[in-house]
Amino acid sequence: MGGGMASQLGKNGFEVTCFDPIPEISSRMATLGATTAASAGALAKACDVIILSLPKAAVVEAVMAEILPDIQAGTVILDASTSEPATSQAMCAKGAEHGFAFVDGPVSGGPEAANAGTMTMLLGGDADAIETMRPALDIITSKTVKVGDSGAGHAAKIANNMLCAANLVLVGEAIRLGQAAGVSPADLLEGINAGSGRSGVSEVNFPKWVLNDAFDSGFTMGLMRKDVGLALDLAKNSGVDLCGFEQIANIWLNASTDISDSDDFNAIVKHNPKGV
């Protein structure tokens, strides 16, 4: 995802500096015209707008601890990872103390959208800091939605991915139900997508990656399992009962262990405990 964003920014005239601890990724960025920094701290010293694209909240916290002494006053940091609200709020507080802004901006659309500059970004944080980044945001996204203050972007993204995970399981079950009643998957989806049961999963995922057996969205089972866990954790910490989603979560986290973490996340539709 980070590579796609960096590529789009470079193609559109931005001076891009990148750092990744994996040398092969840094080399790939250099071939796309980016300057590669020797360390995360060196990047922080050189840039007044920094975009993080990292695997999880713990990595965000570790990277921020590493670069904190080198962040320049007035810098705006955008966290495009799928992280946790509490992490963003803690980093925002550090920013207030040290003179930089920290905005959470998790993205939807996957690697294909990152490479095309058509991602959707859910933003949480200071409105002025967001506007400072607007020229870059206009390049790497096709739509941004400010959903609230610090942490709100990650909360909204967790809720979004929770629904996506649930819809994949439920549309898969609807397909099996239709087949048992003699309705083909393609015809059933045409009917669903003309009615109130339609969703991004039924309109995009199934035609693009499931019905054709492609299963190559670029987003893995392991990543969605992580996001399912984030939804459960957020609910627990917020005192919210997700009794319906907990059954869906059990399918992702426990009942579908025959599907590898490295498989495409749409492969959850292959889970069929009764073999129907």
- What pLDDT is attached to residue 250? 98
Encoded amino acid at 132, one letter = T
The residue-averaged pLDDT of 80-103 equals: 97
- What pLDDT is attached to residue 111? 86
Is a pLDDT exceeding 90 seen at residue 87? yes
- What pLDDT is attached to residue 41? 97
Beta strands in 45-133, from DSSP E residues, in sequence order: 49-52, 76-79, 101-104, 107-108, 119-124
Is a pLDDT exceeding 70 seen at residue 275? no
Which CATH number fits the domain 2-149, given the four candidates 2.40.50.180, 3.30.9.100, 3.40.50.720, 3.40.109.10? 3.40.50.720
194-227 pLDDT, tens digit per residue, is 999 999 999 999 999 999 999 999 999 999 999 9
Q: How far apart are CA 258 and CA 204, in angstroms?
A: 25
Is a pLDDT exceeding 80 seen at residue 118? yes
Is a pLDDT exceeding 70 seen at residue 167? yes
Going from N- to C-terminal start, the domains of the chain cover: 2-149, 155-270
pLDDT band at residue 184 using 50, 70 and 90 as cut-offs: very high
Give CB contacts under 8 A, 24+ apart, made by 238-245. 245/162, 245/166
Helices (H) and strands (E) in the chain, counts: 13, 8
Is a pLDDT exceeding 80 seen at residue 274? no
pLDDT band at residue 272 using 50, 70 and 90 as cut-offs: confident
- What pLDDT is attached to residue 110? 84
| Buried-exposed string 23-59: b where 16+ CB fall within 10 A, e elsewhere | eeebebbeeeebebbeebbebbeebebbbbbbebbee
| Buried-exposed string 192-226: b where 16+ CB fall within 10 A, e elsewhere | beeeeeebebbeebbeebbeeeeeebbbbbebbbe
Name the phi and psi angles at 145, rounded to 5.
-130, 120
Which CATH number fits the domain 155-270, given the four candidates 1.10.3720.10, 1.10.10.10, 3.40.50.620, 1.10.1040.10? 1.10.1040.10
260-270 pLDDT, tens digit per residue, is 999 999 999 99
Tokens, residue 184 = 């083909």
Residues with a catalytic annotation lie at: 157
10 Cα distance to chain centroid: 22
- What pLDDT is attached to residue 90? 98
Q: How many residues in total does the chain contain? A: 276
pLDDT band at residue 181 using 50, 70 and 90 as cut-offs: very high
- What pLDDT is attached to residue 32? 86
Residue keyed to tokens 């009917």 = 191
Greatest Cα pair distance, the chain, in angstroms, is 65
